[in-house]
Amino acid sequence: MCSRTSRSALIILTILLVCSAVAQSASSIAVIPKPARLIQNQGTFSILPDTIILTSSPSIEKAIQLQQMLSTPTGFKFDIAKASSRARSKSVIQLRLDPSLQHLTDEGYTLTVKPNKITISSSANAGLFYGCQTLRQLLPAEIFNNKKTENVNWQIPCVTIEDKPLLKWRGMMLDCSRQFFDAEFVKGYIDNLAIHKINLFHWHLTDDDGWRIEIKGYPKLTELGAWRGDNEVLPPSRGSGAERYGGFYSQDQIREIVKYAADRHIDILPEIDIPGHGRALTASYPEALCAGVDASKSVQGVSQNVLCAGREENFKMLDTMISETAKLFPFEYIHIGGDEVNHGPWSKCPKCKALMEKEGLKNTGQIQNYFIKRMEKIVVSHGKKMIGWNEILHGGELERDTAIMSWIGKGPGIQAAKKGHPVIMTPGPYTYFDMAQARGEKGHWWAGIVTTEKVYSYDPLDIDLPADKIKNIFGVQGCLWSEFLDKPAGQAYFQTFPRLCALAEVAWTPAKDRNWDDFNNRLSQSHLQRLDNLGINYRVPKPAAFIKKGIVTIIPPFEGAKVRYTTDSTEPNKKSTLYNQPFAISDASGLRLKTFIGNRSSTATKGAQRQAAAKWTSKKVSEQFKAVDFDVTDNIDAPGNWHLDFVFKKGSHKLVIKQVELLQDGKTIASDIHQGQAGGAHKNNQYRLPIPNYSPTSKYV
């Protein structure tokens, strides 16, 4: 029997957060992001073939957008009439500009649904647009179909909503360099952001693996630098193989996309990533590199990707790029990257050494600050403000107007906000959508597994700063780097959704009104169906399986989810056994299970875990070390080497463990003495406890 050696009993540490009650009442109402205030009233409004849209001239575009959203799935026409006209329809949707609603900001709105009339009011068109998005989510999910759908009762519950966003910067970044996403894809992506009331698209346009923005003054950037492959200036990489791969956006296409986004109340922040991450630039214009041979590499393993800081022509080139970029993008900021710069080339280059001498720079860190400050001047000279990744704070001071994106964690953002810089929080462990969502799934690991729940748990304003500094936290943003996306379109959506839905609520809804169970309920019972109807390849959440004394219990990821399984290691499909009750199994290693929603399924969960042996809350642990007992008799069913993992789920305090002992009928039979930690990071958190003589009648503590 001793051959069945490795077992584990989990102790889950849960530090409970006190959450306020959920304001949104009816279970059938499931708006994401959750409105600030929503009251459900008696009755319903029905959209009918003769429903009309009333508005005034300045909002006619919003009325047309609403008409387009509603008419395809319903097949109704939705005549648009001036609010002043004597509209005869009994069924009216009115969009009203109302200056008295300025306290809700330009993006806030009120929405009242009465049996004969829907009124959306805002002080600005942005608020009307968001009111329309909310209205859409009050309708049956078929309203998101892109074809006429028969036999649907297009009813909306009567409600009174008053809503406004928590944060003014609610962003999402897409890396279009490592993988090229064509203009149509970008537009579709923008559409899907707008539905979630995201108001900023950060367009990562240049990096080591492809230059994507047409710069007329330097045409080789896109003639050469937009392409990779065996016979191109850029080597094959990122899954694209030996063939010529790439593409770029012409200035005309960019103008069109900027307008497309603006119509959906999304600003576009362009990023030109320098002075590192610049191989696409230096492959097109090698003279931009430092002179001499340099084999050093960036953290990503890329060499020859840093611009020479001592070559004056480089700043002329950058000035041209920023000048052209500034004209294409009306948004007030331009992103200049500034991340992960390999200083190696600067320390050897004669021009950089001469620059250090001339400017009195003591080290390469100060060269970086010199470079970034020159960029700041260039950006400002073209009428824009600069923003960069948190490394731009290294080596010296910057103008207070310059904004910081805090990616490596929250720390740099907090420091920058203290100094007075505007800050966008993009901490990897919460907002990096290139991180894997579960073990065995695609993605980076450096910031840990980033689940939808983890994203949802993030509170960008939960930082220890005075109010006048907290106001420097402008917002929050998700980032999707694309080096791991080998099937760009489908995989990009898989990585983005539903994590973006969680991020949208983090950005829009105050923390006191956020509650994971409530959100997950709205997501799983209604919103996933909307995403499905929109054709979004979202990630279906995986089920979990637990085993105890030979009996497997499957936990679906949400109420009502269908889980199918196999026991012979084959991938479950639509015909596999549907789980409906616990079952016995002699060996769980061949167990495979998947969640099925409509035509979609999750990735497979393999095998079954041991049930958690115990749970902790903050009340049970203290600031001083103390001994705590758990009865684990129920978890142990055989002799062998058992493992105990301490797993931190949520909360703001880590747990430090000094030693673990196992007692059989009051007598110590095993102990493992080493310091472990379970928290934001887990360190040495596994304890090994051999049980040589198991007895089914013994008590194990």
CB of 424 to ligand TNX, least distance (A): 12
Q: Does 441 bind ligand TNX (CB under 6 A)?
A: no
Peptide bond connecting 35 to the previous residue in cis, omega within 30 degrees of 0 = no
Q: Which is nearer to ligand TNX, 33 or 388 (CB)?
A: 388
Q: Does 107 bind ligand TNX (CB under 6 A)?
A: no
Q: Does 209 bind ligand TNX (CB under 6 A)?
A: no
Nearest in space to 384 (alpha carbons), one of 276, 478, 307, 270: 270
CB of 402 to ligand TNX, least distance (A): 16
Can 382 be counted among the known catalytic residues? no
CA distance 442 to 581: 31
Applying CB under 6 A, among 61, 162, 256, 340 the residue interacting with ligand TNX is 340
Q: Does 483 bind ligand TNX (CB under 6 A)?
A: yes
Which among 196, 277, 335, 343 is annotated as catalytic?
277
Q: What are the start-end ranges of the E strands in 90-205?
A: 92-97, 109-113, 117-122, 155-163, 169-175, 200-204
CB of 205 to ligand TNX, least distance (A): 13
Which among 191, 223, 340, 637 is annotated as catalytic?
340
CB of 225 to ligand TNX, least distance (A): 17
CB of 363 to ligand TNX, least distance (A): 22
CB of 389 to ligand TNX, least distance (A): 4
Nearest in space to 136 (alpha carbons), one of 533, 524, 505: 533
Q: What is the DSSP letter of 154?
A: -
Residues in the chain: 701
Q: Which is nearer to ligand TNX, 203 or 642 (CB)?
A: 203
Q: Does 434 bind ligand TNX (CB under 6 A)?
A: yes
For residue 640, the SS3 value is strand
Q: Which is nearer to ligand TNX, 81 or 449 (CB)?
A: 449
Q: Does 444 bind ligand TNX (CB under 6 A)?
A: yes
CB of 438 to ligand TNX, least distance (A): 17
Q: Which is nearer to ligand TNX, 394 or 643 (CB)?
A: 394
Can 191 be counted among the known catalytic residues? no
Let me know: does 193 contact 266? Beta carbons within 8 Å.
yes
CA 437 to chain CA centroid, Å, is 11
CA distance 345 to 306: 7
CB of 278 to ligand TNX, least distance (A): 12
Q: Which is nearer to ligand TNX, 164 or 204 (CB)?
A: 204
CA distance 518 to 504: 15
Q: Which long-range contacts (CB under 8 A, 24 or more apart) does 314-320 make?
A: 314/288, 315/374, 315/378, 317/217, 317/218, 317/285, 317/288, 318/272, 318/274, 318/375, 318/378, 319/378, 319/381, 320/215, 320/217, 320/218
Which among 106, 142, 175, 207 is annotated as catalytic?
207
- For residue 600, what are the contacts with CB-CB under 8 A and spacing of at least 6? 532, 537, 538, 540
Residues 365-394 touching ligand TNX, rule: CB under 6 A, are 389
Q: What is the DSSP letter of 651?
A: S
Let me know: does 601 contact 613? Beta carbons within 8 Å.
no
Q: Which two tokens stand for residue 491?
A: 């995989």
Q: What is the DSSP letter of 303?
A: B
Q: Does 661 bind ligand TNX (CB under 6 A)?
A: no
Q: Does 201 bind ligand TNX (CB under 6 A)?
A: no
Applying CB under 6 A, among 78, 189, 201, 407 the residue interacting with ligand TNX is 407
Applying CB under 6 A, among 106, 232, 267, 339 the residue interacting with ligand TNX is 339
Applying CB under 6 A, among 218, 249, 329, 432 the residue interacting with ligand TNX is 432
Can 340 be counted among the known catalytic residues? yes
Q: Does 615 bind ligand TNX (CB under 6 A)?
A: no
Task: Give the CA dihedral 325, 434, 189, 573, nearest 10 degrees.
Answer: 160
Q: Which is nearer to ligand TNX, 331 or 407 (CB)?
A: 407
Q: Does 271 bind ligand TNX (CB under 6 A)?
A: no
Q: Which residues bind ligand TNX (CB under 6 A)?
A: 339-340, 389, 407, 432, 434, 444, 481, 483
Active-site positions read 207, 277, 340
